[in-house]
Structure 1
């Protein structure tokens, strides 16, 4: 074959190959083309689901991306690592509406559920129940991403969680995967720090974001608004470990400090001291965000607060900014209301979330379980003002009422009455959360309670749900123990937090300041059962003991003896906090005090620290006590501080001291 023929044939072959490729390319255009990147993006749509093996959203067990929220687990569970009952889930991410319209969301839920969209709480049914819940309406813009957050718990029986939506143009349907996206993962910016000008975490002076905890203030203070001594700080947010390993945390602290990770109290040294404190170990998963809370106080001298961590792959280091995140800002949920069928805030009957305080029960009562007269209520949580101004609060009350903001008793009208009562003014900072506590009793006749506020920029109004938040829910820290060097609960020698009542002192004593015989102790706080059941308590005691739960005396053996005492049975509701009070004396010989419990689902065990809590901050009114000559003998302040006054023979004040 000649050279020209070879060239012509080669050219013809190239043309044929080109035409064939073009045909293939045209055919490809007839088929759906899926970019590898787009395919990955579609597969990643959905919400981030965090699964907990209990009902209180602590103790993270599993994290995954759920394509949508459309689950009917029946009598099963979401995963083999999670029990079939008493689990909880938090889903987070964004939702993108298709239309610029007013939407309604629906949750088919068994049991409790809360739904926020764009920071607004649209559904709040955090109780054991099974139904389809309808949200408040919300106006959304098409193709715009809005933050969404769903919290859910399963108590017993069937388990269901299904999220739907509807609008004028959107037929009611399960919110599809295409409109859901998990939260964008960003590098940490630090923790929220709240600074107080005292050692009891009240009297908020400053809030800021601290990039990490690496503070050595020496003899100075964190800010000009705080004194160099007797200040305190609370840091909150989330922490993201780098490895799926067991971590240990360290706090270099001068003075007291407490550390919680994922609701677990890992360090508890709430005393004046200076040292490096080492936490209990905790197993964490890489890339997951865990709640973190640190409380710190400085009493006198130098001030230091440094947070470090380590794991098998993580060298010991200060926890860096990149792994710390401030808490998510969401609209308020309301306050925790605890309802009692008497006037002295004992005998808990009902606990619920009240969106706001604007009630006029007339001659009725708040609930069928409560009589129409002689009941009482305690509301607790936090309040967020809108302006940095001086606020005044008002309470419409029939009858008695008390109001504390940030630990300060602003209104005290604990008497039979009816009217609107004005508080002392208080200076607050915009967008900061302050502890709020309201106590109320109804004696006879009508019953009403209403909470309002005003400031130079805030017109007088009932405080809306958006500015009211539930109290932080943490695992227990134990009970307050007061120890006396006699058998009649007088002559206080020592007060401390005891993680559990599990003591076998033998022939010894609780502390060097107390003799081995003829001492007594009182433990107080609250206890949180796990089940809606009838409980029996046991007190292994040598010698005398008395036990009250929810104001009921269920053990009374105030004699010299040695045995395990069994209580009267008592019906309790799961996850409610009940007052508990234990009194004990040791006469001679051996000394032991051990508190256990059992129920139909609760095997007999020592009551664990996780279910025991410190007493409520009731911030009792200031008490003035005078001696026979009419002079001040001592003052007991609302935070429990007592100042004693001493005089010479001529009645001149010599000194005063704590």
Structure 2
């Protein structure tokens, strides 16, 4: 709060910061130069005292660290005066009843500029001190992190700045403040009062030190405290009474080093990073051994990086002893360059350095053959020659793995891709401030989907302005309505549009039961296709007729209420459902299905409580729909396969979903008719069940072409409700599950972290499936092609799945050029399902597994078995691995745990574990061009540790693949007959 902004220096201007930094340096200099070294200082080897490592500094408006400091902002937010700014007031007010008897809330914003603390500092503790004008009683007031930038002279109860509103009044929304309290203010008397921050508060200040742009300060408030609290603000006349933040931090000091970062590579020129570690010194004589079990004894290279701190202001000579090549840089200057094959030899170079100053240092080394020696020493006029000790070396940060993926898409589902679609003439406009009495022009928009769809002509466009629409297309009597004319729904350029299935239930709508719960009467007959109250959600008919769930799909021990579409969100966070009122505690909710009453165990006062109220957003029939740039979230969809199993149900042909986000549904999020359906550049994240479902025509009386296209989609962390844990026949949990599809393509997409199922799964008589250039990671199975016919699975990167990489029981299928790494059980599993065409139900089972061609794949890692080929269990009437393959060759295998593991598990009339390709070749004649590597480090990739799975030029897999057959080449967009490296040619983010 500042009375006259024009008479005071800028809070964040360069002059103010220089003044503050100077004050801090002066304080440090005083500590170090008062005759004896201060506690926390380090005595340098040549007698000069280094800077103290521990610093305590206070920030108080125009007081500390100096009178030039003007980095405090504070203001009160008054519900009773929602448009009033109090930024110039000398008092900060907090109250849950202000003015008295109104029940209105007053709370406070407070921010300190701490940017003068060095960005490499480590915050140890923090303390807030206030001058209390009016003490309080009760539970006190809590200190939360503010999450939204605000302006002291503009913030009000409704607004953070003159142009930005709070998501909920008084900065109380989930996007306005954090949920964790850093401290509790409970002064019982007036005068000076201080409180220490907890670990979360210290961590928040640490984040501000490292990134000043994240510092939005604090919100001081309490959910139920009724006794007011008043404090002096930064505008108080008595400067010493203004709010004060005291921070104690440490800075890494010269002499406290730990060594250099050592990065160890396969190859003479840093081709494949195998290991990163901190080496205390560079003083190695490996002789003829390897530096690490994962490295070869010859043909490796090492790069050491970090900083070196000299003890004297002198010219230093750096010495290397090496066998073979060596290069050294200090402070960007190359001092040594002997990059050649040679026996052990010493090289040296000199540079002038200043004591106690950190200088960048990089040492590169390679060993070609024979003995391996690497040593780094120094000397100066005052420094006898010695190996540089760890205390004077500081490691560079380790390189962190960079997960490949789709750029510009947020896998959390919180961000909708920015769009700029052209607006056609005659478009109908929707807006949150519109009215259904309007004509739907841009100047006079409508408010609801019902009205917009009624007004838009066939083939027309509905343009949706930014905001949140708690809406659905419905018949006005509590059920969905089917739209039947072709329509395009699109976001207004560069605006964020959310369709939300919840309603906000204010505190006034809840009733306390006196036993720690609050309830509302809550009836939802529209759920589960209008049959929600026909059968209780955990007692669905064993005839498997729904309406909420298949009888064998719910009931996971960790989530027994999964079958219920009810959902609750408190301050934006999902609240878990329990099955009894006795289990309802903060963070849970209970729905009394019999009495139609919903209970929460968090006092709704001071919180935003949202309850799922709609089963779907849109049901579309006919043909020719497009959804572009829209977000859909929190609809009460169900697992059972009916019309309300997804927030958007497209039963229309030739439809497009593009640049959309689907998140936090109770079950599914999108169902789309396959014929001409396209889903592109969209995110499906954190939905309760399988995110995308589509059913094709191969089981129809007249089989037509489907042609479903999924491209550049990001499918992350779905099946959060853990459906299918104990399923017997209805199993359908996956990121994407499609079936009966006659022609489909899935390409350039990412399937990750989907719970208990495959990332992508096509099941039951799929035909002509093309799955190329995808990433599948951290699912149960990466890609699954089941009881189907004719498919191409090529150039996919599949790693770290909990069970299988590629799982296929389909005939006439080519599996080419995939990279499979560390899929826990099996990298590729080819098998025949117990079902066959003779017992198929209708026409939904493909032929027995045959004519499978597996080539050019890299299968790497610590699997139970690398490749498995097996019959169906206890069924010898179908095909087995002796007749599965038309080709099994040109694949490269690496077992990181050594050669004792099963390389290929072959189960025909009996089971055999082949522990080498030679044994497989002898038994069946396959893999005459295969690679079998069972020792040393990774032989294939540029940088497996950092998830760069490109094949390096020195790998045996490089440019050694089988020429691509025409259909595979066409699917990959290359010329037929092309010879490639083995493994994936490309993937999202490569």
Higher relative contact order (CA 8 A, sep 6+): 1
**TM-score, structure 1 as length reference:** 0.34
Query: Of Structure 1 and Structure 2, which has the larger fraction of its residues in strand?
Result: 1
